[in-house]
Structure 1
Amino acid sequence: MKAGTQKPLRVCLLSYRSNPHCGGQGVYVRNLSTALVRLGHHVDVVSGPEYPVLDEGVGLIKLPGLDLYNPENLFRMPSVTELADTANFLEWLGVSTMGFPEPFCFGMRAARFFREKSRGYDIVHDNQSLSYGIWSIKRKMPVIATIHHPITVDRDVSVKTEPAFWKKLQQIRWYSFIGMQKQVARTLPGLITVSRFTRQHISREFKIPENRFSVVPNGINTELFYPIAEIDREPGRIIVTNSADTPLKGLHHLLPAVAAVAQTRDVRLIVVGTPKKNGMVEKMVRQLGLGRIVTFTGRISYWQFVRQYARAAMAVVPSVYEGFGLPAGEAMACAVPVISTTGGALPEVVGDAGILVPPADENALAAAITDLLDHRQKARKIGQAGYERVRRHLSWNAVAEKTAAAYERTIDDYHRL
């Protein structure tokens, strides 16, 4: 197959965890697979739990694991029969010793799947598990991987923000899978990442030449995220997406900013997500006296999500670092005026269609929020500019076309070896 041909491809898209409600992996897998199918390709998603919600025409192959992080049965004790499976035993052992073994164990299961049930795929696309199992698969067929951002950033911020030494060690243990991911990524001839900034950062952190990467931005599903004209925006209503107490997401910088603004303005903060019980965010809400101002939605459907955006006067993306920044793009697709930090690749998403402030700057966040509260016409113009930017540059159809082109280059390189 020559690069640039339009021959339909049989694609196997691997995802070790594909939560459809929070986090970006489930969103990425669902939308990319749908867009590829619309272009005429055949796509199977091979996933560990939590499994993705996929659209018609996309195949789903489930690789069950122990799912020990399932909040409905957190850290359960597996049965003896379950532990008789090597991958399950190593998953349980890793979690029991405060590690995160899911990518490694999913790779074992994926490699076993390809040994037992080879289906003649043209290419395997790994969604950032970067496990040793993927290493073994690439010896038999073309493999490409998406690295959304260098996970070393998450590790470094998590270690830095933990006050106790033993908790720092706990974070280092949790992120111990990074060594595997670096090693495997260096062996893959085809890599995709979502922004120029991320390409530079991964290249430096993982010691991989930049020319090995194809830059393909994440897309925004404009069938799910769109303006709703019949719902009025509520003055002072601020929305932020934050699925966990992850320091990298910057909610702990936004809360003091909202507290400062609330001294002189009538505001409400809607947090789409659930805080950890007695975690950093819950403690800050209590300490700052924001209990009557802040509302956590928990998990919500896309139908509810887009209506939350429709009611919002503005969206804030306070992340210290983002490899791409889906929340910014989704808010822009709903014509919500966006305030974003310049952390990571966020400026590449927002462009000149939002207000950009330095990361971890609570005063700058407060000033930007006050500015939009006091200048509603400016806020409307920013919202419209964001909507138009998403429609022009961030559709999933465009993303799928660029991804398929990267597949063809990888396939061509594989057959030349």
Structure 2
Amino acid sequence: MMMTGSALTDEAAEAETLVHSTKTDKPRRIAILSYRSTPHVGGQGIYLDYLSRALVERGHDVDIISGPPYPEVDERVKVIEIPSLDLYAQPHNGHFALRPRHFKRGEDLYEYFAHLTGKFAEPLTFGERLKRYFAEQKPQYDVIIDNQTLTPGLLSDALQKTPIIGIIHHPITQDRQLALDAEKSFRKRLLIRRWYGFIAPQIKVACQMPIHITSSGAIKKDIMREFGLKSEQLRVIPLGVAQEDFHPRDDVKREPLQIITTASADVPLKGLIYLLRAVAKLRDDLPDLKLKVIGKLREGATSKELEALSISDMVSFESGLTREELARAFCAASIAVTPSLYEGFGLPCAEAMSCGTPVLTTDGGALPEVVGDAGLVVPKADPEALATALRTFFKQSDELKAELGRRAFERAQLTFNWSRIAPVYETVIEEAIAR
């Protein structure tokens, strides 16, 4: 079944009313924490750039304290680097990266041997290094914003002297469950559980923090259920988009049979396989249909599916795009599709809407809340529903397609505008400081 997205939940609608809150006259010194921050490996790095830029535009002094790979942010934002072993960026996946100097610090040894045995240890080891940095350097901040590291180091005396606001984009328990559901091998299922071993400590830390921000009412409910947080611990604030970059462009012509989607990682959560299957179903009806995937094609489930479906000639992959190049790609597409099984928000969908591009999403996580009544929504993990929605869309008149794009653009201007969202962050910052 195809439908327009639902309206904002009560929590998100309440957040929208907060944008009229009075801006504090006192600029704040703010630290944002993130254990890995590059915008090229996922939406959290993009979020860091957007948030820090919005806060400095409001007159605040912002530092990002990050492990590698480091963020790419506005020159007014200071980046404080907390080096790690960065094993995923090393040759041979870091298995031969151990050096004598690493024996001097327990977190280096732990990171190496945890990685060697399939456990993702970066949140925990980042917290240990962060603890040392605060104890030795004694930086002074009015507030700390934690970008879902949820590391036990946050509870140390060195950091607890400063109010801390948590950011929970979505409960990672969902990623773990979707990965387990997609894997039949008992051995690989054990490895998945091992890799996600960081979740239990994160939940314990989250429960002890008084204030968290999340980006949708739907995800707030999931966090409460999965993490055991109380409603009063969570504030809902939608994400914003850099609308100076993502906007309609008169000099870009829309390709009449061009679909665009974003999949930065070959993981089940992104649902790319279901979109590929939908495209395969449309070959006979729409032989000139093209799908552009923003992301790298790696050996794995996606490459195998492309071969099995024999649609490699219909699908292209692009990566390493600048923000302007990505915006132009959205503007050139007839429709942007987000086929995810679950999203804490769905930033590429909001970026496409900001470009005036019609959007089609699944009902996974917060996506219906993002598109509201300005996009098309189908059930997740349903290639037939995706194919039916796309077939119907491409058979519409140019006027109806343009109307869907106009509605998407108008909603984006209202809902994903950092000039309206940043004051809400200030309200929560002042609340945390007042505590």
Provide the TM-score with structure 1 as the length reference.
0.96
The whole-number CA distance in structure 2 between the counterparts of 1:121 and 1:171 is 37
Shift of 1:82: 3.2
Shift of 1:211: 1.2
Cα deviation 1:36-82 (Å, max 9, x = unaligned): 01111110000111111110211110111111112766325222213
Asked whether 1:14 is paired with 2:33, we answer yes
Match of 2:153 in 1: 133
The whole-number CA distance in structure 1 between the counterparts of 2:283 and 2:105 is 55
Q: Is the 8 A contact 2:37 2:66 kept in 1?
A: yes
The whole-number CA distance in structure 2 between the counterparts of 1:384 and 1:315 is 14
Asked whether 1:161 is paired with 2:166, we answer no
Match of 1:249 in 2: 270
Matched to 1:280, the amino acid is A
Q: Is the 8 A contact 1:37 1:57 kept in 2?
A: yes
Q: Is the 8 A contact 2:62 2:77 kept in 1?
A: yes
Asked whether 1:94 is paired with 2:78, we answer no
Match of 1:212 in 2: 233
Shift of 1:232: 0.6
SS in structure 2 at match of 1:208? coil
Asked whether 1:77 is paired with 2:96, we answer yes
Matched to 1:24, the amino acid is G
The whole-number CA distance in structure 2 between the counterparts of 1:296 and 1:71 is 24
The whole-number CA distance in structure 2 between the counterparts of 1:206 and 1:103 is 17
Match of 1:346 in 2: 367
1:387 to 401, 404, 409: 409
Q: Is the 8 A contact 1:35 1:400 kept in 2?
A: yes
SS in structure 2 at match of 1:292? helix
Asked whether 1:314 is paired with 2:335, we answer yes
**Pairwise mapping of residues 4-403 of structure 1 onto structure 2 (< 5 A)?**
5-70=24-89, 74-78=93-97, 79-136=99-156, 137-265=158-286, 266-277=288-299, 279-375=300-396, 376-403=398-425
Q: Is the 8 A contact 1:22 1:299 kept in 2?
A: no
SS in structure 1 at match of 2:165? strand
SS in structure 2 at match of 1:238? strand
Provide the TM-score with structure 2 as the length reference.
0.92
Structural RMSD (CA): 1.4
Cα deviation 1:330-352 (Å, max 9, x = unaligned): 11011111001111111111001
Shift of 1:208: 0.8
Matched to 2:295, the amino acid is G
Cα deviation 1:181-233 (Å, max 9, x = unaligned): 00000000111111111111101111110111111111111112111111111
Q: Which moved more, 1:232-241 or 1:301-310?
A: 301-310
Shift of 1:264: 1.4
- CA 1:249 to 1:139, structure 2 compared with 1: closer, same or farther past 3 Å? same
Shift of 1:299: 2.2
Shift of 1:392: 0.9
Cα deviation 1:232-282 (Å, max 9, x = unaligned): 1111111000011111111011110010011210201100001332x0000
The whole-number CA distance in structure 1 between the counterparts of 2:184 and 2:317 is 26
Shift of 1:391: 0.7
The whole-number CA distance in structure 1 between the counterparts of 2:215 and 2:80 is 26
- CA 1:348 to 1:72, structure 2 compared with 1: closer, same or farther past 3 Å? farther
The whole-number CA distance in structure 2 between the counterparts of 1:82 and 1:268 is 49
Cα deviation 1:90-143 (Å, max 9, x = unaligned): 111111110110111111111111111112101111000000111215422211
- CA 1:339 to 1:164, structure 2 compared with 1: closer, same or farther past 3 Å? same
Matched to 2:153, the amino acid is G
How many residues align? The count is 410
SS in structure 1 at match of 2:26? coil
Shift of 1:301: 1.5
The whole-number CA distance in structure 2 between the counterparts of 1:342 and 1:6 is 41
The whole-number CA distance in structure 2 between the counterparts of 1:71 and 1:341 is 36
- CA 1:71 to 1:309, structure 2 compared with 1: closer, same or farther past 3 Å? farther
Q: Is the 8 A contact 2:154 2:160 kept in 1?
A: no
Match of 2:15 in 1: none
Cα deviation 1:353-411 (Å, max 9, x = unaligned): 11111111111100111112111322211111111111111112222211121111111
The whole-number CA distance in structure 1 between the counterparts of 2:294 and 2:36 is 20
Q: Is the 8 A contact 2:338 2:349 kept in 1?
A: yes
Runs of 4+ in 1 over 6 A off after TM superposition: none
The whole-number CA distance in structure 2 between the counterparts of 1:344 and 1:39 is 31
Shift of 1:14: 0.3
SS in structure 1 at match of 2:88? coil
The whole-number CA distance in structure 2 between the counterparts of 1:217 and 1:120 is 29
- CA 1:309 to 1:163, structure 2 compared with 1: closer, same or farther past 3 Å? same
Q: Is the 8 A contact 2:216 2:369 kept in 1?
A: yes
Matched to 1:197, the amino acid is A
